[in-house]
Amino acid sequence: MKVSYKVPATSANIGPGFDCLGMALPVYNIVTIEETTAPAKNLNINLMNDIENAIETNIDNITRDNSNIVYRAVEELYGMVGRDVGNISISIQTGIPVARGLGSSASVIVGGLLAANDILGNPADEAAMLSIATEIEGHPDNVVPAILGGLVFSSMQDDGSILYKKLNWCEDWIITVCVPDFELPTSISRSVLPKSVSMDDAIFNSKCLSMLIHAIDTKDTNLMKYALQDKLHQPYREKLITGFKEIKNAFKYNETVLGTVISGAGPSILVISKNDDLENIKNVVKTTWDELNVSSIIKSMPIEQHGAIKIQ
């Protein structure tokens, strides 16, 4: 049996929604799981980066043995239903760049779990899949929109279950995804965060997140400009991202731009704007990074409203 899932990229945090807010984007990985009939237990992992509309990605450092994150996800699900993983082949078509803050690991975890669940006869329901994916990934902000699509507010409860709520993103607000030519592993991006924050910073983020949810719900452009601020993670991570402060400052008084935020753990940047003047936005980002000797890929896109889709 052979099953394939197409899974979108995701961007977490969106300014003040640290570790609880994430959106799906129309860039994809395709994960295929196939049970084979090799005479002895065998694992075969194939990697390809020729998917249509891909953002260029380096697959050289992705492991091809049983430490591969897709295999680990498959193994977790098989173990949950009391089965050993037999002879399988895993194929990953990569369109989402690795270590760029665009949910590449969440995408392949979700794709592997959904495909394996199909092969096993769908023993795991949505709640179980969300919990397993979150356990492997570490937090739900990327895996939930990868499964469900859209913009999602999520929380992992003490019992491991996932609570979530989809929010209605305004179709007139466009995401310009700005991907620099350097990686930033999540472990490094996490390491610069403080172990505690001041009460003032906590209150600031609580206020901004409340405004953000209301601005999204009411499509309030003016409120959105105030809401996309953060003091919990971006002030620490921006030091690791060449050009972030310069790009953010370049749009400070641009009426079209609603905000500039770090995508997930970085180093990719999202410029959230009205559906207007997009070429100028891309040119500003490109010029800023060019002056700092940073190559980049910059694309404007809507939110992907659909999550993972079975294609085979």
**pLDDT tens column, 234-271:** 999 999 999 999 999 999 999 999 999 999 999 999 99
Average pLDDT score over the chain:
91
Nearest to 142 by CA among 185, 113, 102: 102
Mean pLDDT throughout 57-84? Answer: 77
Range of lowest pLDDT (40-54, 67-81, 107-121): 40-54
Quote the domain boundaries for residue 208. 173-301
Percentage of the chain exceeding pLDDT 90:
74
- Asked whether the whole model's pTM tops 0.85, one would answer yes
Model confidence over 8-53: pLDDT tens digits? 999 999 999 999 999 999 999 999 998 877 654 556 667 666 655 5
Q: Where are the beta strands (DSSP E) in 200-304?
A: 257-262, 269-274, 296-301
Nearest alpha-carbon partner for 94 in 154, 194, 9: 9
One domain for residues 106 and 40: yes
CATH code, 207 = 3.30.70.890
Residues 191 and 68 occupy one common structural domain: no
For residue 298, CA distances in Å to 48, 92, 244, 278 come to 22, 23, 14, 11
Q: What pLDDT was estimated at residue 276?
A: 87
Give the per-residue pLDDT at 86: 77
| Higher pLDDT pick, 300 / 45 | 300
* Domains of the chain: total: 2
Q: Do 50 and 151 belong together in one domain?
A: yes
3-state SS, residue 141: helix
